[in-house]
């Protein structure tokens, strides 16, 4: 009888609206929406994945070649709406394949995609259609993600300002007079401008971290070998890795899990067996910084007062979250000199790396670095949609005309001993101070003003960096926004740790992000009609 009375009273309350709560009303706003927010709006019947793709395509139409003219998109997926429509139908019948179901992704144009050309930012490969997807692309598609577009990058990933002969100069949405970092500059700028929730970058010297920093987004350079390098155009293969970029730590952690796994075509991934996870979001806690010992690296500080100010404030914020900070640390010289002492000798493998990738392309495309150099040298004036970029091919000419033997003692010493020495130096610094991770200012200066003569400059970024130390050591590095300069230019901090410490580093970054919320949408790409609604 008591149960009957409670049911009756509940029914009366609902009939008179007493059970309805205005507190449950939600506002969806595309520019601030996480992947979880997107799925919640779909579950409520107020958004479809087809509509989601249309909203992002509208933003690309409004801001990529118009408005601030960010110039990020090389190729739009002609079947993106059709794919989204099919995923909507699948969702209605069987539910979601995964938490990436229906989520658009922007891929740097050095990831092989069987349905769109992969140019590496080069005019010579503008029509190069791969035979199959890179494993990381295939894994994302199998999870239900939609590869919405291929985006610009520095030519063959050699550079730091987002310039290529394929598309020209990409611009930073926070200040279009400035560059977007590189070489994953197209990904950084397009994710910051909210052309999609997720983007893919690659990192050899810092090419995920620099654009994540100057565009004010989150990124991760994973442990080398956590993600397969198969089907990704090489830059310097021993130090190459792919990785996700997004606006939130949660979304980066979510995407990372779908990209990991052993690939027998890439022997480096075999070391990740039993050390990778399919779900990195399980490690995200708001109190993850409490009691953690963090070493603050001060190398290359003092180059920009505003960046220093923001970084110093970030260190105080880490303390406020309970982290134990060991400040004023410096990398040992063997690590600081590793770009010259280890990476430079290992460029001996460039000819072999490129020959291996180019040899798998369809007929009619260059097959060696020497052919790239020869054909690139002919590009001295604009040709149709292409722009001159002779500096890149001067580099290729240098390495193809005077190749270094990859069996030489200098190469073997760098590979077998130099990399281990850097790993040991970093781990030794952490052990000496009983540290859980290292923290540093991702980029010691803001994004520079774009140089109009950039195509003729071989070294295209003047910012000194310690980012490449993580590449030599093969260690993970998570980047999270830390604030803005007085000119409203983003600044970020990086969390670095030993191999396969992604769960901890993502947890620290998430804890910091949730306590500070320093990310802000660029003023040049405001919301468009239809992006905000109640449900």
What is the residue-wise DSSP string for 38-97? HHHHHHTTS--HHHHHHHHHHHHHHHTSSTT----EEEE-TTHHHHHHHHHHHHHHH--S
Percent of the chain with pLDDT over 70: 90
Average pLDDT over residues 292-310: 97
Tokens of 414: 């760098």
Sorting pLDDT into bands at 50, 70 and 90, what band is 243?
Answer: very high
Distances (CA, A) of 121 to 71, 74, 132, 267: 13, 9, 19, 27
The answer to whether residue 522 sits within a structural domain is yes
Specify the pLDDT at position 16.
41
Nearest-5° Cα angle at 220, 252 to 273: 90
Specify the pLDDT at position 376.
82
Question: Is 165 one of the catalytic residues?
Answer: no
The residue from 48, 108, 122, 150 that is catalytic is: 108
Specify the pLDDT at position 415.
95
The answer to whether residue 529 sits within a structural domain is yes
Sorting pLDDT into bands at 50, 70 and 90, what band is 385?
Answer: low
Specify the pLDDT at position 263.
98
pLDDT(11) > 50: no
The answer to whether residue 315 sits within a structural domain is no
Nearest-5° Cα angle at 322, 316 to 326: 60
Tokens of 287: 């109190």
Sorting pLDDT into bands at 50, 70 and 90, what band is 465?
Answer: confident
pLDDT(494) > 90: yes
Specify the pLDDT at position 507.
98
- Count of the separate structural domains present in the chain: 1
pLDDT(399) > 90: no
Distances (CA, A) of 464 to 272, 299, 523: 31, 10, 28
- Helix segments in 323-439, DSSP class H: 333-336, 338, 344-346, 350-358, 369-377, 390-401, 409-413, 419-432
The answer to whether residue 84 sits within a structural domain is yes
Specify the pLDDT at position 392.
74
- Domain that includes residue 519, residue range: 28-286+343-405+499-534
Specify the pLDDT at position 437.
98
Question: Is 34 one of the catalytic residues?
Answer: no
Specify the pLDDT at position 407.
79
Average pLDDT over residues 197-225: 98
The answer to whether residue 460 sits within a structural domain is no
The answer to whether residue 246 sits within a structural domain is yes
Specify the pLDDT at position 19.
44
The answer to whether residue 451 sits within a structural domain is no
d(CA 71, CA 58): 15
Q: Of the given ranges (294-303, 357-366, 378-387, 462-471), which has the lowest mean pLDDT?
A: 378-387
- Helix segments in 408-483, DSSP class H: 409-413, 419-432, 468-473
pLDDT(77) > 70: yes
Q: Of the given ranges (6-20, 268-282, 435-449), which has the lowest mean pLDDT?
A: 6-20
Sorting pLDDT into bands at 50, 70 and 90, what band is 388?
Answer: low
pLDDT(454) > 80: no
Specify the pLDDT at position 401.
75
Specify the pLDDT at position 380.
60
Q: How many CB atoms lie within 10 A of CB 477?
A: 30
Question: Is 183 one of the catalytic residues?
Answer: yes
The residue from 207, 213, 228, 238 that is catalytic is: 207
The answer to whether residue 459 sits within a structural domain is no
pLDDT by residue (tens digit) across 514-533? 999 999 999 999 999 999 99
pLDDT(7) > 70: no
pLDDT(420) > 80: yes
pLDDT by residue (tens digit) across 306-355? 999 999 999 999 999 999 999 999 999 999 999 999 999 998 899 999 99
For residue 151, what is the domain's CATH number?
3.90.1300.10
Specify the pLDDT at position 403.
62
Mean of per-residue pLDDT scores for the chain: 92
**Alpha-carbon Rg for the chain in angstroms:** 24
Q: Of the given ranges (240-244, 258-262, 381-385, 479-483), which has the lowest mean pLDDT?
A: 381-385
Backbone angles phi, psi at 176, to 5 degrees: -60, -10
The residue from 122, 128, 164, 183 that is catalytic is: 183
d(CA 391, CA 386): 15
């Amino acid at each position: 009888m008591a149960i009957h009375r409670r049911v009756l009273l509940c029914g009366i309350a609902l009939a008179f609206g007493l059970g309805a709560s205005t507190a449950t009303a939600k506002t969806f706003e595309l520019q601030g929406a996480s992947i979880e927010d997107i799925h919640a709006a779909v579950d409520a019947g107020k958004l479809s994945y087809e509509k989601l793709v249309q909203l992002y395509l509208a933003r690309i139409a409004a801001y990529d070649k118009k408005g601030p003219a960010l110039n990020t998109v090389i190729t739009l997926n002609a079947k993106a709406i059709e794919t989204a429509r099919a995923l909507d139908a699948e969702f209605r019948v069987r539910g979601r394949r995964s938490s990436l179901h229906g989520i658009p992704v922007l891929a740097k144009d050095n990831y092989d995609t069987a349905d769109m050309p992969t140019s590496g930012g080069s005019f010579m490969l503008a029509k190069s259609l791969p035979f199959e997807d890179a494993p990381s692309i295939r894994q994302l598609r199998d999870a239900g993600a939609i590869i919405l577009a291929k985006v610009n990058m520095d030519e063959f990933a050699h550079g730091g300002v987002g310039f290529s002969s394929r598309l020209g100069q990409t611009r930073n949405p926070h200040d279009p007079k400035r560059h977007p970092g590189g070489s994953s500059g197209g990904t950084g700028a397009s994710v910051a401008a909210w052309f999609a929730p997720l983007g893919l970058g690659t990192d050899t010297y810092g090419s995920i971290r620099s654009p994540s920093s100057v565009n004010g987004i989150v990124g991760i350079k994973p442990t080398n070998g956590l993600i397969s390098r198969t089907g990704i155009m090489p830059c310097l293969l021993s130090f190459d890795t792919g990785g996700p970029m997004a606006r939130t730590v949660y979304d980066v952690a979510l995407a990372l899990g779908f990209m990991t796994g052993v690939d027998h075509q890439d022997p480096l991934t075999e070391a990740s067996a039993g050390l990778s996870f399919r779900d990195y979001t399980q490690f995200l806690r708001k109190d993850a910084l409490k009691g953690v010992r963090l070493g603050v690296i001060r190398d290359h500080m003092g180059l920009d007062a505003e960046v220093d100010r923001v970084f110093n404030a970030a260190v105080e914020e880490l303390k406020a979250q309970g982290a134990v900070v060991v400040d004023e640390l410096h990398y040992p010289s063997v690590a600081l000199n590793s770009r010259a002492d280890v990476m430079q000798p290992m460029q001996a493998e460039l000819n072999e790396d490129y020959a291996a990738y180019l040899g798998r392309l369809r007929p009619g495309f260059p097959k060696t670095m020497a052919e790239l150099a020869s054909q690139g040298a002919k590009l001295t004036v604009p040709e149709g949609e292409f722009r001159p970029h002779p500096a890149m091919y001067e580099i290729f000419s240098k390495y193809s005309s005077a190749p270094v033997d990859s069996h030489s003692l200098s190469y073997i010493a760098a590979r077998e001993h130099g990399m281990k020495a850097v790993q040991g130096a970093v781990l030794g610094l952490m052990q000496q101070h009983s540290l859980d991770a290292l923290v540093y200012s991702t980029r010691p200066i803001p994004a520079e003003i774009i140089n109009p003569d950039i195509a003729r400059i071989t070294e295209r970024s003047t910012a000194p960096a310690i980012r490449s130390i993580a590449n030599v050591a093969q260690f993970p590095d998570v980047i999270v926004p830390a604030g803005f300069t007085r000119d409203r230019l983003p600044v970020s901090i990086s969390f670095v740790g030993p191999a396969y410490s992604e769960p901890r580093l993502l947890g620290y970054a998430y804890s910091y992000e949730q306590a500070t919320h320093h990310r802000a949408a660029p003023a040049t790409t405001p919301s468009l009609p239809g992006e905000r609604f109640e449900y």
